[in-house]
Structure 1
Amino acid sequence: MNRSSAPAPALDISGLKKSFGKAEIIRGIDLSIEKGERHAVIGPNGAGKSTLFNLITARFPPTSGTVSLHGQDLAGLAPFQINRMGLSRSFQITNIFPAMTVFENVRCSLLWSKGYKYSFWHMVARSRDLTEAADAILEQINLTNRRDLPAGVLSYAEQRALEIGITIAGGADVIMLDEPTAGMSHSETDYIVDLIRKVTVNKTLVMVEHDMGVVFGLADRISVLVYGEIIATGKPEEVRGNPKVQEAYLGAALEAEH
């Protein structure tokens, strides 16, 4: 099959750079992530992982380079426009409405995709399709029994699960998760990993994660980012055995977990 007839990657990053003043944070990244792939970005603190996420989702404009979603250039688009094209993300710090119920958090995230948009006169509480869709997501993320509680009283792991539910609610087919298991116990991590595996079936997953057990258990491919440059990309076993990766990051990261 020639390249012109091949399907476009889910995400295609070419020559991406980002500087803040004289500080060059992202130094020229080229990366393609295929549809349906689970891809992890790892690297030491300060490597530029969150900056990369912010460039992809248009929270920061790039200094140079391009990002494409399913073959469509994202240049000049706002974050909400990119979200409506099918890319959704979570953040390092849990981002929910703590005073609203768990159900209301999920229902809010469904409004645009269900066609309500700026239709303020609709009584969403009477919308059966909206209620059914929200309840289906709650069941998917194992929070049905927390449905009517204020989101702020959930445990930390449950709040992260809720945020994942909010992330997938709009129907995005590219899901970006920024350190989804940060600060969790082993049991909480297992819960979130199982959840991520379940909700990203037939979707493209891109995640930043420091827990190497999570990375090697979930990812189809891994990219290692060091000082704003990708020094290696490959399958987990290839990255684990890469001498450059061992020297720059992976050896110390694995040792820190034991």
Structure 2
Amino acid sequence: MSQLALELRDVRKRFGNAEIICGASLQLPQGQRLALIGPNGAGKSTLFNLISGRFPLSSGDILLNGNSIAGQKPYQINRRGLSRSFQITNIFHRLSVFENLRCAVLWSLGYRYSFWQRLNGLQDVNQRAEQVMEEIGLHQRRNVEADLLSYAEQRALEIGITIAGGAQVLLLDEPTAGMSRSESDAAVELIRKVSAGKTLLMVEHDMDVVFGLADRIAVLVYGDIIACDTPDNIRNNPLVQQAYLGTVETL
């Protein structure tokens, strides 16, 4: 078995008396694409927030490349090689495409806060930003303010920001939400390209995207992972059909 990039061990999260995540355990090998699905209110966004450090664990443990990240802040987890996108587009709207990507690159290349360095002179930063811009297909929109991009372009830019720092573990939260079928198809191809050789965990409601992109699928229901298997086995799992996906014909 491949080395684990991400592991959840009996993860629990309580808000007051309500337990939202109820002992979730999951193993994600390096280089694999895993889709996390489940009905609304199942706890998917909460689980993402636990993994990325936005919420503290109530109990359990989360390991990144074999090392515990429980209790660490989001920026610390990011610097250890995990990066995430958000369900609601999270970009600098008044900055250009290029400037957004350049901001995302700085720390990973060793640059710290400084008022005395001019960004235009940082050739390695500029080259990496240009490279990512080409990779996400926005090179022709280089100097356009992010606020003026189409919705699909903004989502592509956010994916670019997610990968710009060189993280090897990517978390994408509903990357195709709100897109037309053609936009969604283009986003799937982009995700497939940028996640090649990396580890991907994504939350997604579009079953065409899930079954077309994921190596494995984990099903979260009422804060518990009830199944984690290949797309074909998940498609035919009666517990999954009953709890979330509906009838066989729905799939």
Please indicate the TM-score interval, normalised by the length of the shorter structure.
over 0.9
> Cα offset for 1:115?
1.2
CA contact (8 A) 1:212 1:254 kept: no
> TM-score w.r.t. structure 2 length?
0.97
1:200 counterpart = 2:195: yes
Match of 1:76 among 39, 56, 71: 71
1:65 counterpart = 2:63: no
CA contact (8 A) 1:10 1:71 kept: yes
User: Per the alignment, do residues 56 and 253 of structure 1 end up closer, same or farther by CA in structure 2, a change over 3 Å counting?
Assistant: farther
Kindly report which structure 2 residues correspond to 1:7-86, keeping only aligned pairs within 5 A, or say none: 8-86=3-81
Where does the alignment leave 5 or more consecutive residues of structure 1 unmatched? 1-5
Q: Which runs of 4+ in 1 moved over 6 A?
A: none
> Cα offset for 1:130?
1.3
CA contact (8 A) 1:58 1:77 kept: yes
Opposite residue 15 of structure 1, the aligned amino acid is D
Match of 1:102 among 97, 100, 115: 97
Q: Kindly provide the CA deviation profile for residues 178-235 of structure 1, in whole angstroms up to 9, marking residues without a partner as x.
A: 0000011001101110000000000000000000000000000000000001111100
Kindly report which structure 2 residues correspond to 1:178-257, keeping only aligned pairs within 5 A, or say none: 178-251=173-246, 255=250
Opposite residue 127 of structure 2, the aligned amino acid is E
1:137 match: 132
Opposite residue 158 of structure 1, the aligned amino acid is E
Opposite residue 30 of structure 1, the aligned amino acid is S
Opposite residue 123 of structure 1, the aligned amino acid is R
1:120 match: 115
CA contact (8 A) 2:21 2:43 kept: yes
Opposite residue 158 of structure 2, the aligned amino acid is E
2:167 match: 172
Q: Kindly provide the CA deviation profile for residues 42-70 of structure 1, in whole angstroms up to 9, marking residues without a partner as x.
A: 00000000000000111001110000000
Q: Kindly provide the CA deviation profile for residues 56-95 of structure 1, in whole angstroms up to 9, marking residues without a partner as x.
A: 1110011100000000100221100000000000000000
1:3 match: none
Range 19-28 or range 243-252, more displaced: 243-252
Q: Kindly provide the CA deviation profile for residues 83-108 of structure 1, in whole angstroms up to 9, marking residues without a partner as x.
A: 00000000000000011000000000
Please provide the CA RMSD for this pair.
1.4
> Matched residues in 1 for 2:131 and 2:93: separation?
21
1:151 counterpart = 2:146: yes
> Matched residues in 2 for 1:75 and 1:230: separation?
19
> Matched residues in 2 for 1:241 and 1:233: separation?
12
Match of 2:155 among 160, 163, 180: 160
User: Per the alignment, do residues 214 and 7 of structure 1 end up closer, same or farther by CA in structure 2, a change over 3 Å counting?
Assistant: closer
CA contact (8 A) 2:236 2:248 kept: no
> Matched residues in 2 for 1:53 and 1:20: separation?
16
**3-state SS, counterpart of residue 113 of structure 1:** helix
**3-state SS, counterpart of residue 12 of structure 1:** strand
> Cα offset for 1:254?
7.4
Where does the alignment leave 5 or more consecutive residues of structure 2 unmatched? none
CA contact (8 A) 2:6 2:62 kept: yes
Number of residue pairs matched by the alignment = 251
CA contact (8 A) 1:212 1:253 kept: no
User: Per the alignment, do residues 254 and 200 of structure 1 end up closer, same or farther by CA in structure 2, a change over 3 Å counting?
Assistant: farther
> Matched residues in 1 for 2:248 and 2:7: separation?
28
**Aligned sequence identity (%):** 61
> Cα offset for 1:7?
5.9
> Cα offset for 1:124?
0.8
